[in-house]
Every structure is written in C-alpha cells, then in structure tokens.
Amino acid sequence: MVHYKNPVIPGFYPDPSICRKGEDYYLVNSSFEYFPGIPLFHSRNLVQWEQIGHVLTRKTQAVLDNCPASGGIWAPTIRYQEGRFYVSATNFSHGGNFFVWTDDIYGEWSEPVWVSQGGIDPSLFFDDDGCVYFASTYDLPDGQAIGQCQIDIKSGERLSETRIIWEGSGGKYPEGPHMFRKNGWYYLMAAEGGTEYGHMVTIARGKSPWGSFQSCPGNPILTHRDTMLHHFQAVGHGDMVDTPDGDTWMVFHGIRTTQYMLHHLGRETMLAPVAWNEEGWPVVNDGRPILEDMEGVRLQEEAQNGSGEIKTGNANAKTGEEDEKCEGDFFDKELPVRWNYLRNPDMSKYSLTQRPGWLKLTGSDAKLDDLASPTFAGRRQQHFDMTASVWLETEPEGEEDAAGLTVFHTNEHHYDLMVTKREGKRCAILRKRVGDMKTESRPFVLQEKGALLLRVSSDKLEYRFFAGKDENSLKPLGSGRTQLLSTECMVMTFTGCYVGVFAEGACNGWFHGFEYRPGQN
C-alpha cells in the first residue's frame, strides 16, 4: 500500500477537475476574481503536484473588471481528446459559459469559444461516436437540475436544444456535472447539497448520454455532512480519472476548520481511491471518511515516501504542517507561477526590471477596500501555521498613501501591515478591515530611512504582525483573529486567504526577499 496525505494541494484550490494523457495527469481549479485564471497542475502519481502555469493568461480570455468577490471564473473542467486539451468554465461576471483549448499543455490557450447554454459549471464529454456533449446546471422554477446539449467542438455552436437529463438525488443545487462511459453505461456525476457543510458527490447512470439516468442506491457516494468537525468538512465537487493500471481515483475539495464551523484557507484539493462494486457503482475510499493520512494501491514509486510534496514554481511546500522552508521570492523578470493579481491588473504599476531582485509596486486610487484592481500581488496561504516576511522600501507622501504586507480574503476582510504617514511622520501601522469596521494600531514611528522588515506569523486562531529594521529589532504591532477572515464571518465566499504585497495612493513600494515558511513559529 502507498501512503499519502490530504489535502494533496493545500490552500484555496477548489473545484478540482482532472484528466490523463498517457502517464501524465493534469488538474485545474477555480480562480474567481484572481488573475491569471485557472491554475494548472501536472503530476505523475496523483499525490505530488507541480503548478505548470495558468489556463487564462490574457484579459481577452478572462475579463474580470469590477467583478464582485467570488465572481469571475468558476468550476473549470479539463479533458483530453485526440491530442488536444480542453478546459470549459464559467465567467460568472462577464459572458457565461465557454471553453478554451491547446495542443501544447505548456503553451498558450485559445481565445474563449462561447457556448449559448446558461447555468454554471460546464463540462465536456466526448463520446466514442464523435459526438460532443456540453453539460451545465439548468435553472428550474424552484430548484436546479443538470442540462445538456450537443455542440460543434470547433465553433461551440449548439447542435441540439438543451435538455434536462437529471435532477439529482434529492439534494439542493445539483451542479458540477461530469459524464464518463464505462462498461456500456454512461455515468453522470454531480455535486449536491451546496458547497458548504452539506456538500456531497452523487452519481447516476443510463444507457444513453441523454438518459434516462438511474440514481445510485448508495448516494451520496462521498460526503462528510454527518461527520464530526475534526474531520475534513464540505467535501464534494469530485472528478474521476483512471490510471494506466486501470485503478480509479477521485479528486474533490474539502475544508479544514479552525474551530466550530469556521474556515479561512479556502476549499482544498483532496484525493481518494475509488473501487467498483458488483453492481457497477463506484465506492469512494471503501465508504469510509476521508482522512489526512490515506493509503491506496499502485501509485507511482515517487509517492511512496508519503511526503505529499507539491512543487509550485520557484518554491516547494508540503501538504501537511511540516516545518519546511517554502520561498516565494521575486526572480528574474516575472513573479513565481503561484502568484496572482486581483482582477485584471494594470501592468504599468508593476516592475521587476527597474531594480534587479526587487518588485516595484506603484500605488493608484484603487485600494484593497475596492471592487477594482488595486496594486496587489499575492500567493495563497496554504498552512495554518506559517510565517511570511518581506523587505520594504517606501516613502509615502500622505496619510492616504501606503505600501505593505497584507493577509487578504476579500475587499471587506483583510489585515494590512503597512508603512504610511501619520501626523507628518513615516510610520508602520496595522490596519484591520472587517466588514464595515476599520481599526488601526498605534503608529510605530520609523526613526530611520531605508528598508523595513515586515512579518506576519499565524496559527489556527491568530495572525501576529511585526516590523523592524532587522531580525533582531522586530516589534509586535498587533494581532488579528483568523475567525474574522473566515468565510462564515462574511457573505459566503468561494475563495481563501492570500498573503501578498500592495501599494495604495501616491506611493511606490519596493519589495525584496519575500519568504513564506510553513510550520510552527
């Protein structure tokens, strides 16, 4: 047996979808208001994942102007067919359902091919006879179902009317459809129960891609809706893949709570083995709950150390809480692949070339509080216990000017350790925005010019913020509860916390030596 740890991709990486080409697996996640859109991962063993880029790297592919928190790009599906990769998704804020394609998984993707079918969570199914089907949610007068049409894969044109093919097993919000063909049956898998604590994966089957579909008598085939809160919660939105050896695995998302019914890291990608019973129905993890420590058979050799290591761009991070360094510095002429902007960035506000080894951010009128694209760059928080540090040089002109380090969830929920002006003096303060409330710490007046070291450390329940001229002079500026950056303490969000850098107003911020370190601190 091979041992591994869940989540296999920690942090805000929800709605996973997976496909295989030969011995290579590829996985995508939702990205919502963050750009570039749809993170793209590669693995040879389903446990160790390397982020190789993003699917949507141009504004023409992902218009995100003024989209609300958790708007933007929803629930992608990735499929491989006859030498070409396809990713379908929803731009919830601008345009609806579309797909893009590429013949080179490491290259550029096409412009969006729009499909005039409503709903969300679109998925492509390529049948053996050459027909291509496009499924998504379908709105009913008092509920939701799965709708499907046949399309021309070259143009996206609908070749049939949209028809309801399944109304689910009885849970609310049937969505995230994926169709598979196995042993003469067409299996239709869906997410039900809403993407919160009642989440689940269900499945049905029929003899035609149009149905009728019979619900699995064992539904839901995956859920933690009745488990204790020390287990992963909100488990659902699954996709399946067969290995070259013929084994079946499911990727799905779930959350890790900090305390009763609270989470702030977002929905994270997890993995479980699937067996097929005598009646031809899938059984996930032998019907047992999904655990952090898992085991399966016939994974590639490199997974057998159980490390669950992820490789993402310029840095390595483990899936657990191990005390291993994970650097995310600014290298060469571009940010590490794990980094994102908020909505479509104005790239004239960013520079990695004016001063080698430093990221320059130029502030603007757009602030972290706004549904806009403030000058911000960040990476997902992936561990409860972590430390993030960065050196900052900046000379703000007034009290509306600031640059610094932020823990960001939405425009209404973020903690900002920043350098600004108060009463004409350059100082560091901790600003906290929670809903309609704002607070500031007592200003820490900076007596000397030059670079300042900013740091945030965290555990499950608290963030702690420090500033100083070096490691030996770090001064605590305040703390903030993780509770107040939790999804459950705001209007329902589908994202998680980022750690990043920002500049606002008439302020240039020069950042150097960003480091993210998981583990106890």
Phi/psi region, residue 234 (left: phi>0; alpha: psi -120 to 50; beta: rest), is left
- What is the three-class DSSP state of 138? strand
Backbone angles phi, psi at 166, to 5 degrees: -160, 140
Question: Rounded to an integer, what distance in angstroms lies between the CA atom of residue 480 and that of residue 22?
Answer: 47
On the question of pLDDT at 313 being above 70, the answer is: no
Of 300 and 346, the structure prediction assigns the larger pLDDT to 346
User: What DSSP string describes 279-328?
Assistant: TS-EEEGGGPPP-SEEEESS--GGGTT---EEEETTEEEESS-----EE-
- pLDDT category at 303 given cuts 50, 70, 90 is very low
**Residue boundaries of the structural domains of the chain:** 2-312, 326-518
Rounded-to-integer distance, Cα 399 and Cα 421, Å: 5
Average pLDDT along the chain: 93
Dump pLDDT digits (tens) for 432-489: 999 999 999 999 999 888 899 999 999 999 999 999 999 999 999 999 999 999 999 9
Other beta carbons within 10 Å of 172? 12
At residue 520 the predicted structure's pLDDT band, cuts being 50, 70 and 90, is low
Give the length of the chain: 521
pLDDT in tens, 318-352: 333 333 445 556 656 789 999 999 999 999 999 99
- The CATH number assigned to the domain with range 326-518 reads 2.60.120.200
CA distance 347 to 345: 6
CA 70 to CA 33: how far, in whole Å? 6
Using an 8 Å Cβ cutoff, are 52 and 17 in contact?
A: no
Picking from 446, 445, 442, 447, the residue whose alpha carbon sits closest to that of residue 431 is 442
Q: What region, left, alpha or beta, does residue 271 occupy, with left being phi > 0 and alpha being psi -120 to 50 degrees?
A: beta
Write out the two tokens for 372. Answer: 């806009």
Label the pairing between strands 326-327 and 185-192. unpaired
pLDDT at 331: 59
Confidence of residue 2 (pLDDT cuts 50, 70, 90): confident
- What was the pLDDT predicted at 330? 66
Class of domain 2-312: mainly beta
Contact 258, 264 (CB under 8 A): yes
Number of CB atoms found within 10 A of residue 245's CB:
8
Catalytic amino acids?
15, 175
pLDDT of residue 327: 54
Is the Cβ–Cβ distance between 2 and 11 less than 8 Å?
A: no
User: Is residue 122 a contact partner of residue 78, using CB atoms and an 8 Å limit?
Assistant: no
Mean pLDDT to the nearest integer, 270-281? 97
Residue in this structure with the two tokens 């003899």, named with its chain if needed: 207
What's the whole-number mean pLDDT along residues 197-210?
A: 97
Q: Considering only CA atoms, give the Rg of the chain.
A: 23
The answer to whether 427 and 352 have CB atoms below 8 angstroms apart is no
> Percentage of the chain with pLDDT > 70?
93
The per-residue pLDDT for 332 is 67
Q: What secondary structure does DSSP assign to 413-469, as a single string?
A: EEEEEEEEEETTEEEEEEEEEETTEEEEPPPEE--S-S-EEEEEEE-SSEEEEEEES
Interatomic CA distance for residues 483 and 489, integer angstroms: 7
* Tens digits of residue pLDDT in 411-431: 999 999 999 999 999 999 999
Please check the confidence at residue 166 and state whether its pLDDT lies above 70. yes
Q: In whole angstroms, give the CA distance from residue 323 to residue 300.
A: 25
